[in-house]
Amino acid sequence: MKLISSVTAMLLLPLAVTFAQTRFTQRSLPDVTDNYQSGLRLYYKTWADLNDAQKRVSPWAGDWYRYDVARGQMDLLERTWQDGSFARDQVTQAIGDLEFVLNNNHLAPQDRKILEGDREQLLDLRLRYSP
């Protein structure tokens, strides 16, 4: 019985070490540096930042609508990035929707700063990866 336990432990040890070394980011994505994952992380981060900002907003229907539209555009970008049909006009629309939130919503100063950073990253993504 001890022999079986020892053999099992030896077989599972490399798996446990590999799992322990894997770092995970927001939404449990592996922390990798390739362009594909970088784009997905940007979409997820922007979506989460919009969601966090909405939690601190006053209950104005227009603000909620603009958040929903911007998050919907981020969902569309995620799908097109994943299936390889990413296009410049889609990211331009996402940037426009995010700017609409920045220009018209009631935002806390820290949320404004975070969302402005997200906008800059989307602008950079558009320059680097769109045809």
Q: DSSP label at 27?
A: G
The model's pLDDT over 21-55, given as tens digits with 9 standing for 90+, comes to 444 334 444 444 566 677 788 889 999 999 999 88
DSSP line for 44-111: HHHHHHHHHHHHTS-S-HHHHHHHHHHHHHHHHHHHHHHHT---HHHHHHHHHHHHHHHHHS---HHH
| Model confidence pLDDT, tens digit, residues 41-91 | 888 999 999 999 988 876 778 888 999 999 999 999 888 888 877 778 888
